[in-house]
Each structure stands twice: as C-alpha cells, then as structure tokens.
Structure 1
Amino acid sequence: MKKFLPLIVLLLGVVYLASTLRPEKNPTGFDLAGFGRVPVLVNGRIKPLDTVARTSLLTMQARQRVSSPETGTFVSSPSEWLATVFFDAAKADTFPIIKIDSPEVLSLLGLEEKDIRIEYDSVAKRTMAVLGFLPSTKSRFSYAQLKPRLPELDRQGRLAEPVESQLRTPFQKQVIAVRNRVILYLQLRLSVQMPESTDFLTELELFEKALPAGIAAVLAKQRGEAHSTEALGVMKEMADRFAYMEQLGHLRLVPPADGDNDPSHWELTGTTLLGSFGTGKINPTVMEYARLGQAWRKGDTATFNRIVASLHDQLEPRYPEAMRKSDIESRFNAAGPFYSSMTLYVWAFLLAVVSWLKWPEQLGRAAFWLLTLAFVSTSAGIFARMWLEGRPPVTNLYSSALFVGWGAVFLCLFLEKFYRNAIGSVAGGLIGFATLLIAHHLSLSGDTLEMMRAVLDSNFWLATHVIIITIGYSATFLAGFLAAIYVARGLLTRTLDKTTADALTRMVYGIVCFATLFSLVGTVLGGIWADQSWGRFWGWDPKENGALLIVIWNAVILHARWGGIVKQRGLMGLALFGNIVTSWSWFGTNMLGVGLHSYGFMDAAFYWLIAFVSSQLLLIALTLIPLEKWRSFRTPATA
C-alpha cells in the first residue's frame, strides 16, 4: 500500500480536477448555461453574462454563491441569480447580496441588532454559532432591507466623495463602498427592463402600437397644430422611463444593425428604446429579452430555451470569435482552475511537511506529483486567460499575483527534482496557495480581464519587461520562503541536519543569483519602455525605485555571501528581508497615490502588507538567536 501511495494520491488529484470540468448541476429546466454564454458589451469588452454575474457578485458580496446561513442556498448558479435580477426584480430584491462590514453604516441604514442577529432553527447550529464555527451575525443584506434608508446612504456618499481617498474616515470609506454596491445592483436591475415593470413585454407591445399616434402628436405640437394630449403624455412618460434606464443601465445588450459588426457600437437597452421614437419600432433584440423575461416569470422553460438558442444563432455569424470566446470563458468560469489549484497546493504542502516526519520517499513523491498537477491546473488557467484576452500573462495586479506564484512553483519543481527532500514541494505549496489567495482578493474589485490602458497597450513590452520583472519577483520571494523554511525547521523541529541546512543554503544562493539576473534585465527593459512611452528612461517613480531596490538588495546578498560577511543564518536573514523589499515594490508603491504606477490605496492590502512585513522581521530576529540555542541542530558547528 505504501508503495502505491504516490500513484493513489495522483489519481485522486486527477479525479478531483476532472470533477470540476463537469457541467454545473441545474435543478431547473431553464438553459442557464446557454443564458450565461450570451455575450454582452461591458466596459469595452464583450463578455458572457456568466462573467457579468460572477464579477458582480464578487464585487457586491465577496463571493459567488447567493445564500444565507439560516435558509441555505437561494439559487443554483450565478447565471440563475442574474436572470432573476433581470426578469424578476421583486424576488431578487430579497436576496442578501450586499455586504456591509461597518456597524456605523448598519446603524445609518436603520439595521438594529435584531436585524443582524442570526436565528438558527436547530440546537446544534446554535451551539456551533456560540463556539464560533458558524456566524452569529449577518454581514450581507438584501436590497429590500436597505431600500427605506438608501436616500440617506446616498446623501452621506455624496458628502464623502469630494474628500480625497487617503483622507476619508473609515466611515466615509465604508459608506462609499456600500453605496457603490447598491448602485451596481441597480445598474444590473435596470439593464433589461423598465423600473418596477411587472410585464415588460406587454408594455413594449402597447407602446409600439401607440408609437405612430404618439409621434404624430409630437410633430403636431412642434408645428403648433392640434394634437392628442393623451398620446403626448404617454410618450413623455415612456421617454422618461427609457432615459432612466439609459442613465443607470450597465450592460450593452443590443448589438448594432446588420452590416455593422463593430463591437463598440453595442447599445444599452435604454438607449435603443429611446431610439425607437425615431424609427417608429422597437429593436427586435429588446423584444427578445422581454419575451425571455416573460418566459422566466411564467416558468415556460421551452420558450426560454428557444429564445436563448435564437440569441446565439443571431450573434454567431456576426461575431464568431466573440461567441467562441464567450463560450470558453463561461466554461472557464465554471471550472474555476485557480480555486482547484489552491486546494491541490494545500494538500501538496501538507504531504510534504508530513514527509519530513514519516515515509519521506513515498509522501515526498506524492507531494511532488500533486504539486505538479496543481501547477498544470494553474498553467491551464493562465493560458486560457491569455487566449481570452489576447495578451501576455501579466496585464494587471491580479494577473501579476497569478504569475508570481506560477513562476515560483515552476522553480520549486526544479528544486524538488534535483534535491528530492520535499523542501521544493513545501515552498511551492505555500507560495502557490498564498499567491492564489492574494489573486482571489484582488478579483473582488471587478472584471480581471479588463481592457488595457493606452500606455500599456504593447504586447511586446508586456511579453518582455513585465514577464521578466515578474519572474524576478517570483525568484526573490522563493528565496525568502526557503529561508523561512530554514528558520522554521531549525527552531521548531529536529529535522534541520547538516545535509538539509547545506541543501537549503545552496537553494537560496542559486535562486538569488537567478533573481538578480531577471530583476536587473527587467528593470533595464522597463527603462527602455519608459523612454518610448514617456520620453525618459528614469523618473524616480516609486515603482521604478522599488524595482531598483530589488536589484540592489539581491546584489547585496550575493556580495555579502562572496565576501564571507554572512554564512548560513546571515544569508537566510538577508533573503527574508528580500521578501520585504519585494512586497513593497509589488504592492506598497501602488498604494502611495503618486507616480505613474499608482493603482490606489487599499485598506485591506495595507494591513495585510504590514502583517507580512512584521512576520518577516520576526523571522529575521529569530536568525539572530545564538546557534547553540537552535536545539534542532545535532552538529552546531556546521553553520
């Protein structure tokens, strides 16, 4: 049994990944997968409705499922939730999908303790809530709960908006955050049908019939002739409602007329309906969505599925590439390769750690194979993103987190292949999980396949400077994490013998050499790109200084080692400080609010950055403990 353990672990990992590729369960008869693949234009990019649903839920509530700890899951998938928002707003208004963390904002919205407290229906759940295994208070609320006090929320948000982001109080930041979540929900709610409409299709049919008389009344009024006041009133009422839809609408659902295949010409539903006053008829796509809504509310699955297929058939010949990408992107979303990889990285890490205590050969090999499988899954996700975006792998902060982890794990696989001591697997599992967790939190700000800014719209430099400098980040982080393993094993276990310590030293030294080369080349290439973009090689921008600091610090490590200034523990301490330098260059400089590379101050990121830096300083302090105190060393003189 022990002999076949690595193979069993690998097969279980493959089965787990294969299970994520199965179509999502759909308890309804509606073709929700097909509905999720319908493309729309948002923020300059054609994307499937499934992506719209998932990114909207992440932005509003930091998760993709719509559920309550008291009553369980409300919908089977993000696409079902979005269909409910589009076509049955009254029901969607009751779903708790707006996250509120601030007690002050809760009080502002009139939510009292009884509204926040969770009442479980079983003794077991109540006991688990007391012990902290289940939440005892709510953090997500429905639009219907917040609606009575939304005017006050809007007023406070308008007062906070003129204040610079860095100067806002925590209350003001939370007010703006919650207000933006509510606005996003309203934008989705008004993207397809008119506000508070209970039968949008019938209203549109009646409006289309009344259009000739209404247009005639408007023209007669303009000429000063007698006209129908009633028809004129109907036209004004509908125009106001359409204008409101245009003002708050978020999704461009309506493609341009036949013969115009420019994606940028897609229109909001409100804009298209306003255009009907000039054409005298309603756009067929708008009518199709109205019929889709009626079928949804009536539970008419056959009609709903037929219209979804019809929308695909209409768009396929006009936008074949966009339709193909929309289909692949929705499948990519459902598979969630990065979430699967996180799970595999954790198991690889745990198996590798246990291998230091028991069955080193079998568990070490199992951890290596599982790490390789997680790496393959992550690679597939990154390559899928590259194909969807038509760009190199690193285009924004989110994708940089993916690539930093990917590069570090790639190096860890080589280390483990050569040394076979599970150190590479431990480091790879830890870094892979940590960077994917960072990426997940970065995804909460919205679509991660965003359009490129003009200055960054260069696949050549994205494929050279950005990739090379990011590999430098990966290697420098890896050297620091290897040093952390050295410290942890030296102080907490008795597994750091001379052979292991020497192996870790060679690993750190080799990785630092690698990191120095890539950081230096990447920084030089960045200067050349800056000259082409901004007309200067160097401007002392914080991000540029951060990149230079990485190069300098890696050079300091190498010179200290070559000059005999530091030995094993000193090398590890310097490598740990490299984590601080790299984290500052990667995240810290982005939050300063100055320079061409500033992406904005993020409270959560700032506190996590401080926590990470503090942890590295603690590890550095531990390297200063006298060697004889490191009880795990059996031969203290080796260092």
Structure 2
Amino acid sequence: MKPLFPTLAAVAALLAVGYTLRPARDAGAFDLAGFGGTPALVNGRIKPLDTVARTALLTLQGRQRVQTLDGRALAPAEWLLDVMLRPALANSYRTFEIVNPDVLSLLSLAPADGDGGKRFSLAQLRPRLAEIDRQARLADDVESAVRTPFQKGIVQLRNAIALYQHLQLTLVANDPHEFLGQLGQLTGLLARPPGTATPAEQILIRELGTAFTTMDQFSSLHPVPPAKGGDPTAWASIGTAWTRALETRRPDPAAADFAALAQAWHAQDAPAFNRAVAAHRARLEADFPAVMTKARVETRFNSAEPFYTSAVLYVAAFLCAVVSWLRWPAALGPLAFRLILIAFALSTAGIVTRMWLESRPPVTNLYSSALFVGWGAVALCLALEAVYRNAIGSVTAGLTGFATLLIAHHLALGGDTLEMMRAVLDSNFWLATHVVTIAVGYSATFLAGFLGLVYVLRGLLTRSLDGATADAINRMMYGVICFATLFSFVGTVLGGIWADQSWGRFWGWDPKENGALLIVIWNAIILHARWAGLVRARGIAALAIFGNVVTAWSWFGVNMLGVGLHSYGFMDSAFWWLIGFAVSQVLVILAAAVPTESWRSFRGIAASGRSGGPGAPAPAS
C-alpha cells in the first residue's frame, strides 16, 4: 500500500484542483456570472465587472468575500450591483476595514461593533463622514512618509469611502427608484419630435443633464463600448452616454441595456435582469468578440483563484517533506514532490493566463514579480529534487513558493494587478529580457539563501543532517549561486542598456541600479570566498542567507520606499516587514556561528572524537 499512497494522494489533490477550475454557477435566479463577465474600461484597462468588484473589495477590506447581516455570502458581482442599485442595503454591509484604534475612537466605534472586530458598514460611518473628510484633509498636508498611524488610517478610510461612493455613481446619480423613473421619462421624451417638451419636462431634462455630468465626473467605470469599428479605447461612462443621447436624441443601446438591467435589479425582477444582460452581451459578442473572450477567461481565472490553491499545495508539500526527514520518507518524500509539481503547474497556468490577458511578458509590476520570482525558485527546486531525491528541493520549493505567493497576495490589496504599464516600462522586448532575467537572478539568489537556512536550522535544531546530506546542500548552494551570479550580471547589464535607451545614460547610480549591482557583487564575494578557501559549507550557508537580505532590499527596498527612478511609492508596512525579515536572517547567521560540535546533528560525532571525519560538515573558516 505504501508505494500507492503518494500516487493516490496526488490524484486526490488533482481532483481537488480540478474542482476549483469548474465554471462558476449562479445559486439564484439572476445571471450574476453573465453580469460579472461584462467588460468595462477602468483606469485604462478593459476588464470584466467581476474584476472591478473583486479589486474594490480587496481595497476596501482585504478580502473578496462579503457577508450580509444575516450571514448570507454574496458574490462580488452581487455586492457591486447592490452598491450601485440598492444602496440602502449595501450600506449595511460591513466592508470597510478599520484597524487603527484612534480612528475607531474618532468614529465612536469599538471592535465589537464590527465584523471580525475590524470591518464596518457605511451606515456606521455616515454620522462622522464630515469629520473623516476634515481629518483626512489635515493629513494630506503631511508627507506620507512621516504621517502618524492615525493619519495614515484616516486617509486610507477617506479614500475607501470615495471609491465606494464613486461606484455608487456608475449607473444612477441619486435615489435609484427616482432616477430610473426619470430615465424612463427621458426615453419617451427623446422619441418625440424636438421642441415638444413641456416646461416641466424641460426642467427634468436640465436636471438629468446635471446628473449625467456628475456621474461622468466621479465614475471611473466606463461600460459603454464605442461604435463598431471605432476607437477600441473610446469606452464611455453611463453619464457620457446619456449626455450624448440628449444631443443626438438617440439613446445608446448599451446605456439602454444598463438602464433596463438597473431597473430589473432594483425591482429584483430576475427574468428582466437576465434579458438585459443577455441582450448587452449578445451585442458585445457581435461587435467585440476578442474583448468578450478575454473577459470570459479573466472571470473564470478570478473564480478559480489558481495562486491561492497553489499556496495551499505548497504548504502541504512543505509539511510532507519536513516530516519525511523524520518518518515515512518512502511515502511522504515522493508525495511532497508530486504536490510541488501540481502547484507549479497550476502557478504556471496562472502566470501564462495573466500574460495572455495583458499581452505582456510575465513580469510587469511588483505583484507579477512576486509570482515570477517564486515560480523561478520552485522550478530550480524541482530540478534539484529530481537530481538529489532528498526532499530538500521540496522543502525549499514549498517554503519559497508559499512565501512569494503570500507576498503577492498582500501586494494585490493595492488594486488591479493587471494594471496599465508605466510609459518608461512600455516595452515588451525589455520586459522579456532585462526584467525576466533579473527576476530569475532574484529567484536563484533567494533559493541559495533558503538552502542556507535549511542547512543551518536543520543541522542546529534536528538530528537529521548527516554528512551526505550536508555535502549535498553544499553542492546545491554552490551551483545555485553560480546560476544566480550569471543571471544577475546579465540582467544588470541589460538594464543598463535599457536605461541608456530610455534616459540617455547607461548607469546613473539609481538606488535600483545599485541594488542590482549589490546582488552581483555579493554573489561574486561568496564564490571567491569559496574558491579561495576562506569559507566552507557553514560559511557559504551564512553568506547565502545574507544574500536574502541584499536581494530583498533590491527587490522591495528601492521599489517601495519612495526614492529613485524605480520607486513606486513609500509603504511603511512594507518597510517594517522588510526590517523584520532582515533581522530574522541576521539571527540565523548568528546561529550559524555556533560551532558545529554544538549542533544537534553533530553532537554524537563530536563526542566520539570524529568531528572532522568523513561525513561531518567542515566548519566555516
């Protein structure tokens, strides 16, 4: 039975993965999947409304799940519809995350008043909206890097409320019942000959014109497509579409579809809602088939959540591999390897899907760099495990794979991860050469550091690091560091060439350039120290662990701390996580300085007088 266990468990994991990839099904009578798959232009990118809803929820509350007060779970698309068309109900949903105690005190709220102690509804915030805005305006006058936690929290809350209110202005300008009734009157007026409106009707037209202008001004969501054969980027807001209708006296078909859809959802008329969604999607399928194909794939991608599933598999594989060092290696070792393979394949599919949706190489922003750095490290781990078959590759794959996906998850809280490219980065050639190459260098340098962590912690804390395993890890670290040096150097040179083309100079001592150079120099130091006999296995492990600090600084430090041409804005939370990570690595390096005779794996060897004999790892020089 033991030989069958890894295969059966891997098959079960595959079936579970397949279940997550099934098409989404609507539990109720409304075609929420069809609505969620409807595309719109938002912040320069055409995306399905499902993505709009999920991105907004992540920004507001750090998760995509919404619960009503009675405990019913809402799909993101259903939440978005309620926000736009049933505001009285949506305002009761606890979707605003507030964790700063001073902000809660300002709002006269306590953790017990919120969902999970930190999520609150707009109805709870409404009495203090003016004070929130006043305090946020005061905080705006302070540089973001020196704001207090209260100031950061109040600005974040103000921005979240603004995002929510802008979504509310997508389809209607005020009370949905009143506004939709006025739209119905306007449709009838536009069908009549010009000049036949009564004075009261003229007042209605002027009021609606003002409302349409307000909607266009505040809504960043543009769901009305251009005319067939027109500018593919000229999507319009609902407000703009109805403003044009006032001029041409012909309502836009898409705007009319959304009006019918809105009326049906507000009235909870499922058949009418489904007819409006189907009519709008049929028109888009005929005029913009490529856009609809991408919208369908992205919606399916959102519901599948391949990176979340991969993270779960990486954790399971890591645990199996670690336990295999202690018990049942014949069963758990192969199972861990197969789980890593499944997770790697799923991550690969996710990255390839993102590339197809963006029409870009795999790395375009910090989020995608986290995905790719983890993917590259896991690929190298799989190669190591295929050669050595000692579960070390599986352990490091599970650890690096999960860690980078966790980083990516937190980076996704900032907004759309398939964002439009910055102008200076808008080059598929350099994204596919310099950026990918340097990311592979990051992957390999991190992998060497994690192998160093395995060497030190396994030897220091367990009895499972025998001489053969220590020698294998030593060879792994050396090979990976050589690989990292090559890719880091080539990537840095390619970056200089790109900089010369973009900014007219090959090297300008920009912080990001300095960080890339530090990675090359540090890897070169490790190699030269080994070749010169200055360090052996333990010393290489310690140096490789410090390579984690150097790489993390280059990757996040200069990207997110607000300096240089490659900076994407200060993030204090990232800064403190970076400091914490660096401190943890230094602590392990200090632990590596403990003589190997005191390591649990080698105490018996030392006691028998064979501490320097075959199979014992050599102490660092």
* 1:469 pairs with 2:441: no
1: distance between equivalents of 2:434 and 2:576?
A: 29
Give, in angstroms, the shift of residue 233 of structure 1.
Answer: 3.2
The residue that corresponds to 1:106 in the other structure is 104
The residue that corresponds to 2:390 in the other structure is 421
The residue that corresponds to 2:258 in the other structure is 289
* 1:456 pairs with 2:425: yes
Give the alignment partner of residue 620 of structure 1, picking from 571, 585, 589.
589
* 1:156 pairs with 2:125: no
Give the direction of change, closer, same or farther, for the CA distance of 1:585–1:36 in structure 2 (3 Å limit): same
The residue that corresponds to 2:227 in the other structure is 257
* 3-state SS, counterpart of residue 72 of structure 1: coil
* 1:183 pairs with 2:181: no
1: distance between equivalents of 2:491 and 2:303?
A: 35
Give, in angstroms, the shift of residue 231 of structure 1.
Answer: 4.3
The residue that corresponds to 1:62 in the other structure is 62
The residue that corresponds to 2:491 in the other structure is 522
* 3-state SS, counterpart of residue 625 of structure 1: coil
* 3-state SS, counterpart of residue 5 of structure 1: helix
2: distance between equivalents of 1:213 and 1:311?
A: 25
Confirm or deny: 8 A CA contact 2:41 2:47 kept in the other structure.
yes
Q: Which runs of 5+ in 2 are unaligned?
A: 606-610
1: distance between equivalents of 2:392 and 2:228?
A: 60
TM-score by length of 1: 0.92
The residue that corresponds to 1:566 in the other structure is 535
1: distance between equivalents of 2:168 and 2:86?
A: 9
The residue that corresponds to 1:220 in the other structure is none
2: distance between equivalents of 1:538 and 1:344?
A: 42
* 1:484 pairs with 2:482: no
The residue that corresponds to 2:171 in the other structure is 192
The residue that corresponds to 2:505 in the other structure is 536
Give, in angstroms, the shift of residue 245 of structure 1.
Answer: 1.2
Give, in angstroms, the shift of residue 216 of structure 1.
Answer: 4.5
The residue that corresponds to 2:19 in the other structure is 19
The residue that corresponds to 1:144 in the other structure is 123
Q: Which amino acid aligns with 1:163?
A: V
Identity among equivalent positions (%) equals 58
The residue that corresponds to 2:608 in the other structure is none
Give, in angstroms, the shift of residue 215 of structure 1.
Answer: 7.4
1: distance between equivalents of 2:351 and 2:216?
A: 36
The residue that corresponds to 1:90 in the other structure is 88
Q: Return 140-149 or 417-426, whichever deviates more.
A: 140-149
2: distance between equivalents of 1:540 and 1:214?
A: 69
* 3-state SS, counterpart of residue 141 of structure 1: strand
2: distance between equivalents of 1:532 and 1:371?
A: 40
2: distance between equivalents of 1:25 and 1:180?
A: 33
The residue that corresponds to 1:131 in the other structure is none
Give, in angstroms, the shift of residue 239 of structure 1.
Answer: 2.3
* 3-state SS, counterpart of residue 41 of structure 1: strand
Confirm or deny: 8 A CA contact 2:113 2:120 kept in the other structure.
no
The residue that corresponds to 1:580 in the other structure is 549
Confirm or deny: 8 A CA contact 1:41 1:266 kept in the other structure.
yes
Q: Which amino acid aligns with 1:23?
A: P
Question: What do residues 520-565 of structure 1 show as CA deviations (whole Å, max 9, x unaligned)?
Answer: 0000000000000100000100000000000000000000000011
The residue that corresponds to 1:36 in the other structure is 36
* 3-state SS, counterpart of residue 601 of structure 2: coil
Confirm or deny: 8 A CA contact 1:214 1:231 kept in the other structure.
no
Question: What do residues 95-154 of structure 1 show as CA deviations (whole Å, max 9, x unaligned)?
Answer: 1111111122222223256634x7xxxxxxxxxxxxxxxx5xx21111121122111111
Confirm or deny: 8 A CA contact 2:176 2:266 kept in the other structure.
no
Give the alignment partner of residue 339 of structure 2, picking from 364, 370, 382.
370
Alignment of 1:97-246 (within 5 A): 97-112=95-110, 115-116=113-114, 135=116, 138-210=117-189, 216=195, 230-246=200-216
1: distance between equivalents of 2:228 and 2:581?
A: 55
1: distance between equivalents of 2:193 and 2:208?
A: 11
* 3-state SS, counterpart of residue 440 of structure 1: helix
Give the direction of change, closer, same or farther, for the CA distance of 1:28–1:459 in structure 2 (3 Å limit): same
1: distance between equivalents of 2:423 and 2:6?
A: 49
Give, in angstroms, the shift of residue 591 of structure 1.
Answer: 2.8
Give, in angstroms, the shift of residue 74 of structure 1.
Answer: 3.7
Question: What do residues 304-355 of structure 1 show as CA deviations (whole Å, max 9, x unaligned)?
Answer: 2222111111111221111110010000111111001001000100100011
Confirm or deny: 8 A CA contact 2:25 2:33 kept in the other structure.
no
Q: Which amino acid aligns with 2:542?
A: G
Give, in angstroms, the shift of residue 481 of structure 1.
Answer: 0.3
Q: Return 578-587 or 174-183, whichever deviates more.
A: 174-183
Give, in angstroms, the shift of residue 513 of structure 1.
Answer: 0.4
Confirm or deny: 8 A CA contact 2:512 2:558 kept in the other structure.
yes
2: distance between equivalents of 1:416 and 1:2?
A: 20
* 3-state SS, counterpart of residue 346 of structure 2: helix
* 1:72 pairs with 2:71: yes
* 3-state SS, counterpart of residue 418 of structure 2: coil
Give, in angstroms, the shift of residue 594 of structure 1.
Answer: 1.9
* 3-state SS, counterpart of residue 47 of structure 2: strand
Question: What do residues 54-85 of structure 1 show as CA deviations (whole Å, max 9, x unaligned)?
Answer: 111111110000026x743341x111111222
Q: Return 557-566 or 594-603, whichever deviates more.
A: 594-603
Alignment of 1:287-436 (within 5 A): 287-436=256-405
2: distance between equivalents of 1:287 and 1:149?
A: 37
1: distance between equivalents of 2:198 and 2:383?
A: 81
2: distance between equivalents of 1:520 and 1:537?
A: 14
2: distance between equivalents of 1:239 and 1:303?
A: 27
* 3-state SS, counterpart of residue 548 of structure 1: helix
2: distance between equivalents of 1:22 and 1:88?
A: 30
Confirm or deny: 8 A CA contact 1:469 1:522 kept in the other structure.
yes
The residue that corresponds to 1:552 in the other structure is 521
Confirm or deny: 8 A CA contact 2:24 2:300 kept in the other structure.
no
Q: Which amino acid aligns with 2:307?
A: F
Cα-Cα RMSD: 1.8
2: distance between equivalents of 1:231 and 1:483?
A: 77
Q: Return 228-237 or 271-280, whichever deviates more.
A: 228-237
How many matched pairs?
Answer: 608
Give, in angstroms, the shift of residue 25 of structure 1.
Answer: 4.4
* 3-state SS, counterpart of residue 265 of structure 1: coil
Give, in angstroms, the shift of residue 269 of structure 1.
Answer: 1.0
* 3-state SS, counterpart of residue 222 of structure 2: coil
Q: Which amino acid aligns with 2:160?
A: R
Q: Which runs of 5+ in 1 are unaligned?
A: 119-134, 218-226
2: distance between equivalents of 1:585 and 1:215?
A: 65
Q: Which amino acid aligns with 1:54?
A: R
TM-score by length of 2: 0.95
* 3-state SS, counterpart of residue 47 of structure 1: strand
Q: Return 331-340 or 200-209, whichever deviates more.
A: 200-209
Give, in angstroms, the shift of residue 211 of structure 1.
Answer: 5.6
Q: Return 199-208 or 433-442, whichever deviates more.
A: 199-208
The residue that corresponds to 2:46 in the other structure is 46
* 3-state SS, counterpart of residue 632 of structure 1: helix
* 3-state SS, counterpart of residue 46 of structure 2: strand
* 3-state SS, counterpart of residue 273 of structure 1: helix
* 1:276 pairs with 2:265: no
2: distance between equivalents of 1:240 and 1:280?
A: 17
1: distance between equivalents of 2:34 and 2:354?
A: 21
